[in-house]
Structure 1
Amino acid sequence: MKRWSVMATVLVLVAALIAGCGANNGNGGNSGNGAANGGTDAGTNAGAGNGAAEEQKRIALVTPEKIGVNPFFTQMEEGLNKAAVEFNFEAKVIESADPSQVEQNLRAAVAEDYDLIITAAFSAVDALAKVAAENPDQPFAIVDSFVDAPNVRSIEFREHEAAYLLGAAAGLATKTNTVGAIVAMDVPLLGKYTSGFGQGLASVNPNAKFLVNYVGSFTDPAKAKELALLQSSQGADFIAGMSAVGDSGVFEAAKEKGFYTSGQDTDRTGEDPERIVLSQLKETDTVVYETAKDFTSGNFTYGGVNYGLKENGVGLTFVTAESSSPLSPFIGQENVDKLKKIRDDIVAGTIEVKNPLAQ
């Protein structure tokens, strides 16, 4: 009887061990119900089954608006997904319905013990500064803004370099010698766009007139369209969209009045190749991918980092990146070749593009 008792005890222990192992086969994280607007898993458990799930890093991306509204944030999600697969970490996107929810969603990500929390845009700056100060041991990163904190990597772009190319393109292509830009707001960050554009324009066409109007919002297509129509009436044959969601209004005006225009952040030329002839690119997918790569490989640093033409963080369609759209005759291959030379000179330092925000 004693022998059977020992065997029974062994069987119970083995069963308990098997049950315990089965219970640990999850992804090690919770569902994120504390987030103001929930979240979506991106690349969750990439590489699971390799026997090292407990060592897998976990990275969260907190966006200040819903994915799909602005290509800027959609690209970030794509970069995170790609990195999750390649570098074997668990990724999650927590979408905010609007910027007021960012602080709550950052706190939710902290509570869920994510190893790195990434957010973006100036609308998230105040929330991140507050949450980062309260959680000094938690690593954070912010894209397209700067937060002065010892546990935050601030990722900024040299937008003025790409804007220089766009301004040069406008200066080479214009037939009326009048070009314009519809800008979301008169704020320092967007001064990098208008200043860079103006420098590029003057470098190739010093006699060209540059019109600038401000919408007063990042989400007002109707006002942006009204201002684009105004610039068209003043003789502008190329009007750059620099108004975020408002750019759709600029595109509508271009279709109605026959002037040429450009988009921002992603390649918008496919929406109307006849009138949207260029796009100033901001490769947010690249910077999120590189940030995740640095973190998972142990090369992550805090403080400011920036991406320009040299790092392929910014660019211009047809010049630094291919497009599925045909090249517009208004721009022309001859001008593209000139712009590629200008791009190379900026990277080499032969051309210096002044940053209006530099001290």
Structure 2
Amino acid sequence: MMTKLGFAAISLLMATAAHADTQELTVSMLLPGNIADHGFMEAGYNGLLQIQKDFEAKISYVDGIEPKPELLTAALRRMAADHPDLIIAHGGQNNKATEQVASEFPDIQFVVVQGNVTGPNLSSYEVLQEESAWLAGAAAGLLTQTDVVGHISGIRVTPGLKGRGGFYNGLMHTNPNAKFLTIFAGNQDDNQLSARVAQAEMDQGADYIFTMLNAGRQGATDAMRAKGAKQFGNVIDWTKVDPGVFAGSAIADVSIPSVEAVRDFTSGAWKPGIVKAIGLENPKAVSLVLGADVPADVKARIDDLRQQIVADQIDVSTEYEGPEMPL
């Protein structure tokens, strides 16, 4: 006898395969932040626009939701009430809320971008930003003059923790004697806060700082410019935006996972219960960009390390069990 789970899985597969014959695909996205943050949330929104263009989908989105589980859950329930074909929750902070709401709406398929949750109608798609973060840490270890390197992020979510861990282990690979300063300040979008914590790290000697921030990045950037410290950004190529401050950028194009999820969905290849990962083997998705003033020998060393990661000769650890700075 077939189980209820078996019926659900077959129903989902039939639904995805049948989309080639439907007139319009409906996709909704939850973005718990500002879609004009020049970072993670804007990249997610750009992915949604690409979905609209590539698949002629009818799209809708909700942004600006504070990343609290009860608020995310309520927003997802409102979206599910409209019965779109696919709901994409952008960001690992949506893990628990999406897992809950997906169980309440078994006939809707859900995807978490940069998530790690699965279910009978739920999968996660992620770009491995920890791999480009590892390379950024390795570069910082080669470039630092003070042997003090910092990291700043806002909320403590799985992708942020993995990125911090990747950066730290890359730093230790090239400069095991470096002092590492790290903080999760509690907010991705507060420029006054990010300026204050950047200043605190620089006061302890940090001359390179890896920032995993959204709209709050500018505060850290302004503080570092005034002090003469250098920054590694993430998500997009910040060396083009502000080459005077950014030594590099750990690119992880988080617009790609949602597009890949919809491509799988429309082709019938989408599967529930999996986490699909995209790493350095796809340089359009994951890469480290270094500024024009980074010495050629450092760039060559980083490229060699990149090749070793792709060849599985280096294991990119995301573990970090050291101290954190107090807020």
Correspondent of 1:184 among 147, 150, 154: 154
Aligned counterparts of 2:260 and 2:208: Cα–Cα separation in 1: 34
Structure with the bigger RCO (C-alpha within 8 Å, sep 6+) is 2
Aligned counterparts of 1:113 and 1:284: Cα–Cα separation in 2: 25
Seen in structure 2, the aligned counterparts of structure 1 residues 185 and 53 have a Cα distance that, compared at 3 Å, is: closer
Displacement, 1:289? 1.3
* SS of structure 1 residue aligned to 2:281: coil
Structure 1 unaligned runs (5+)?
1-51, 319-326
Aligned counterparts of 1:102 and 1:334: Cα–Cα separation in 2: 46
* SS of structure 1 residue aligned to 2:151: strand
Number of equivalenced pairs: 297
* SS of structure 2 residue aligned to 1:147: coil
Correspondent of 1:200 among 170, 180, 189: 170
| Residue 42 (structure 2) pairs with residue 79 (structure 1) | no
* C-alpha RMSD of the superposition: 2.4
Displacement, 1:236? 1.9
Displacement, 1:96? 4.3
* SS of structure 2 residue aligned to 1:300: coil
| Residue 282 (structure 2) pairs with residue 336 (structure 1) | no
Contact 1:58–1:91 (CA<8 Å) still a contact in 2? yes
| Residue 264 (structure 2) pairs with residue 301 (structure 1) | no
Structure 2 unaligned runs (5+)?
1-19, 321-327
| 1:119-198 map, 5 Å | 119-185=89-155, 188-198=158-168
Farther off after superposition, 182-191 or 125-134: 182-191
* Paired residue type of 2:171: L
Aligned counterparts of 2:64 and 2:183: Cα–Cα separation in 1: 30
Per-residue displacement from partner, 1:17-62 (whole Å, max 9, x unpaired)?
A: xxxxxxxxxxxxxxxxxxxxxxxxxxxxxxxxxxx99532222222
- 2:287 is matched with 315
| 1:1-359 map, 5 Å | 55-69=23-37, 71-99=39-67, 101-185=71-155, 188-303=158-273, 304-312=275-283, 313-318=285-290, 327-329=291-293, 331-356=294-319
Aligned counterparts of 1:97 and 1:295: Cα–Cα separation in 2: 26
* SS of structure 2 residue aligned to 1:235: coil
Farther off after superposition, 92-101 or 154-163: 92-101
Contact 1:80–1:292 (CA<8 Å) still a contact in 2? no
- 2:12 is matched with none
Contact 1:64–1:101 (CA<8 Å) still a contact in 2? no
Per-residue displacement from partner, 1:111-160 (whole Å, max 9, x unpaired)?
A: 32311111122332333222211111211111112334211111234332
Contact 1:96–1:102 (CA<8 Å) still a contact in 2? no
Aligned counterparts of 1:97 and 1:227: Cα–Cα separation in 2: 24
Q: Percent identity?
A: 31
Contact 2:37–2:214 (CA<8 Å) still a contact in 1? no
Per-residue displacement from partner, 1:211-258 (whole Å, max 9, x unpaired)?
A: 223323323322322222222222222111124443222211111101
Contact 2:34–2:42 (CA<8 Å) still a contact in 1? no
TM-score by length of 2: 0.81
Aligned counterparts of 1:247 and 1:268: Cα–Cα separation in 2: 11
Aligned counterparts of 2:247 and 2:180: Cα–Cα separation in 1: 18
Seen in structure 2, the aligned counterparts of structure 1 residues 181 and 95 have a Cα distance that, compared at 3 Å, is: closer
TM-score by length of 1: 0.75
Seen in structure 2, the aligned counterparts of structure 1 residues 59 and 213 have a Cα distance that, compared at 3 Å, is: closer
Displacement, 1:201? 1.5
Seen in structure 2, the aligned counterparts of structure 1 residues 66 and 194 have a Cα distance that, compared at 3 Å, is: closer
Displacement, 1:97? 4.3
Displacement, 1:185? 4.6
Aligned counterparts of 1:216 and 1:105: Cα–Cα separation in 2: 22
Larger radius of gyration: 1
Farther off after superposition, 275-284 or 121-130: 121-130
Per-residue displacement from partner, 1:250-278 (whole Å, max 9, x unpaired)?
A: 21111110111122212223442111221
Aligned counterparts of 1:294 and 1:209: Cα–Cα separation in 2: 44
* SS of structure 2 residue aligned to 1:284: coil
